[in-house]
Amino acid sequence: MLIIRNLKVKIEGKEILKGINLEVKPGEVHAIMGPNGSGKSTLASVIAGRDFAEITEGEVLFDGENLLSMPAEERARKGIFLGFQYPVEIPGVSMVNFLRTALNEHRKYKGLEPVSASDFLKLMRQKAELVEMDSQLTGRSVNEGFSGGEKKRNEIFQMAVLEPRLAILDETDSGLDIDALRIVAKGVNKLRSPHNATILITHYQRLLDYIVPDFVHVLYNGRIVRSAGKELALELEKKGYEWIKEENEA
Amino acid sequence: MAVEQDQILDGLTKGEYKFGFYTDIETDVIPKGLNEDVIRMISEKKQEPDWMLEFRLKAYRHWLTMKMPRWAHLQIPEINFQDIIYYAAPKQKAKLASLDEVDPELKATFDKLGIPLEEQKHLAGVAVDAVMDSVSVKTTFKETLADLGIIFCSFSEAIREHPELVKKYMGSVVPYTDNYFAALNSAVFSDGSFCYIPKGVRCPMELSTYFRINAANTGQFERTLLIADTDAYVSYLEGCTAPMRDENQLHAAVVELVALERAEIKYSTVQNWYPGDREGKGGIYNFVTKRGICKGDYSKISWTQVETGSAITWKYPSVILRGNNTSGEFYSVAVTNNHQQADTGTKMIHIGKNSRSRIVSKGISAGHSNNSYRGLVKITKGAENCRNYTQCDSLLLGDKCGAHTFPYIEVDNQSSVVEHEATTSKIGEDQIFYCNQRGISTEDAVGLIVNGYAREVLNKLPMEFAVEAQKLLQISLEGSVG
């Protein structure tokens, strides 16, 4: 589904990603862990198509197509979803209007008719339940006045409505209390299927107690320095990132 | 990154003006130029009584003593007032079976603009006075309204049929001495709408005037006078468009509103005159004086404007809060793109005690345009316990446009409270990317964000027009935003 080969990325002249290789297949959950500044969020943004970095080498393929030449909205319509670390506020734009516009763009891309107002409201209600989101929130402006936890839950809610094939969740667990974390994880788990895949970007092991990954990768200094099964996360938790740093600088 | 954003903006500003067509219809025009003979000719063509001609001549003589106002934050090229045609009337072809009939050509023009002149086809609950160039073409629902005692007709008809009302109120809110363009309008105005809502009547439908400039080299000078008697209520809307031309055309209108005791007037404008092309060639000079007076106690006047058109806009819909416990409101969205310039805002003059005013202004600038808010809040000595709240926001799209704020606040007593809040923001790249990531294109994202920004004002428009205004905002910014 997603193949990344030797991806090198510079931001303002500084090399942030130094040759990333990664393959994600349908049905898989990958966790990418690593200390601050290792390039995790850059990787997520580059896959989603944020136009802020210079790609100097390598390729990213999605279903065999070159992702890097597509604008962000086209990638989204093809089924790539980014759960933002810091979701932005859009004052005056209601969640209903925003998400309906988004969903209809996805449907148009697939050659489907726009969703009717009543069907859409039904869908909103149903998906809001999934993430135990207060239906009041869907009547408000996008992320405006949402608490940190509400914003994160709102990301998973949008993911539930748009049903992406590849979801990249960037530090979705950060700033969540344990109840919110459980709810977010439950949402992600419910949406898991043999047809879609998830990349979890996280700092801590605790999210992985709730969403069990098939693979864990450690990103350090712009490279994936270690890949293994879920046990790697536990090892990291025990030994800390110092262990990786020492190993790679030795 | 800045370069990218510029490209996005550039790409976005390719919006086309949708009402730029011209109707090839035989038009009765008078020669170019302005002098007393021209004014007499206009008055004669309209078969006006002497008192009306006198009013015009007095205004003209006063205008000659005045100078073009230069205090606004606008670059206004010299206007040659001798090079303008002051009267142009589309000729109705052949003999029409009844007075209510409209030339098919004119009907087709208004159909094309989305303003059907047949009552049965019209939006339920909206009565229209359609004005093309210097004359009113048709007023719909006149009879229905007359049953309630409501007078809704062209200004020319009001001069003939209701001279006592016109004499009493015309110039009572905007005297011809008020300013340069008001004086000019008073001298040469050709038509417009007149409306009177009698005591205790709530007008059951939206009243509206649609202004269309069609003929070339003409100026449009219409006048609107709206009177809500004691306990009356009316909601009024005006819209306007013009063909695309390389020359600039002058539009200098006067609108006067009078609200008597406990009356309420809601006046909404969707202004979409031709703004000129991307290089700033052509477009309408929109120099308009709009003012209302809350004459009676507990009366209320509310202005809502969505300004997207015109090359240059100079316009300050104001309220004189003369009665006690009166209320004035001004809600505005002004969009400028390409080389458009706007200097717009309001004046709230508090004279009555316990009067309240509220100003919400949302400026949106894109391209190379300049957008200024200019507002005066004046609370006189005797106007105790008054309250004003002003919120003035500017949104910038791109880095070649300008947003300016000129608030004037004069408070002459201790018991009143005036609040002013202002913000300036840019559409964030992160907001656009967030939308992109959900599958929404940059252009649609900008439309969504701008409409969200303007929502508080758009919500004040009558429902049918809010949708139109929303679309208009998006079209005006097509190819302009980042």
Please tell me which residue of chain B has the smallest CA distance to A162. Answer: B438
Q: Read off the pLDDT of residues A145-181 as tens digits, 9 standing for 90 and up.
A: 888 888 988 999 999 999 999 999 999 888 788 888 8
Please tell me which residue of chain B has the smallest CA distance to A158. Answer: B438
Structure confidence at residue B13 as a pLDDT band (50, 70, 90): very low
- In this prediction, residue B93 carries a pLDDT of 55
- In this prediction, residue B14 carries a pLDDT of 43
The ipTM is: 0.95
Distance of CA B177 to CAs A30, B63, B186, B187, Å?
A: 76, 8, 9, 11
- In this prediction, residue A250 carries a pLDDT of 57
Task: List CB contacts (< 8 A) between A91 and chain B.
Answer: 452-453
Tell whether the model's pLDDT for residue A86 goes beyond 60.
yes
Q: What predicted TM-score, i.e. pTM, was given to this entire model? A: 0.82
Angstroms from B440 CA to nearest CA on chain A: 6
Structure confidence at residue B206 as a pLDDT band (50, 70, 90): confident
Percent of chain B with pLDDT over 90: 47
Tell whether the model's pLDDT for residue B5 goes beyond 80.
no
Point out the residue among A72, A158, A162 whose CB comes nearest to the CB of B436. Answer: A72
Point out the residue among B437, B448, B453 whose CB comes nearest to the CB of A72. Answer: B437
Q: Read off the pLDDT of residues A216-230 as tens digits, 9 standing for 90 and up.
A: 999 999 999 989 998
Is residue B457 less than 8 Å (CB to CB) from chain A?
no
Angstroms from A238 CA to nearest CA on chain B: 36
The total of other beta-carbon atoms located within 10 Å of residue B1's CB is 9
- In this prediction, residue B99 carries a pLDDT of 47
Q: What is the SS3 assignment for B273?
A: coil
Tell whether the model's pLDDT for residue B10 goes beyond 50.
no
CA separation for the pair A134, A125 (Å, rounded): 10
Rounded to an integer, the average pLDDT of B76-88 is 87
Query: What is the per-residue DSSP string for B71-92?
Result: -SS-------GGGSB--EEEPP
- In this prediction, residue B113 carries a pLDDT of 66
CA separation for the pair B314, B84 (Å, rounded): 19
Structure confidence at residue B479 as a pLDDT band (50, 70, 90): low
- In this prediction, residue B267 carries a pLDDT of 94
Q: Read off the pLDDT of residues B433-471 as tens digits, 9 standing for 90 and up.
A: 999 999 999 888 988 898 888 888 888 887 767 777 777
Average per-residue pLDDT for chain A: 90
Cβ atoms of B12 and B442 closer than 8 Å: yes
Q: Read off the pLDDT of residues A109-128 as tens digits, 9 standing for 90 and up.
A: 999 999 988 899 899 989 98
Tell whether the model's pLDDT for residue B411 goes beyond 60.
yes
Instruction: Give the distance, in angstroms, between the CA of residue B42 and the centroid of all CA atoms in the same chain.
Output: 24
A-B interface: how many C-beta pairs under 8 angstroms?
76
Instruction: Give the distance, in angstroms, between the CA of residue B323 and the centroid of all CA atoms in the same chain.
Output: 25
Percent of chain B with pLDDT over 70: 84
- In this prediction, residue B270 carries a pLDDT of 84
Tell whether the model's pLDDT for residue A99 goes beyond 70.
yes
Q: Read off the pLDDT of residues B251-297 as tens digits, 9 standing for 90 and up.
A: 899 999 999 999 999 999 888 878 888 887 888 889 999 999 999 99
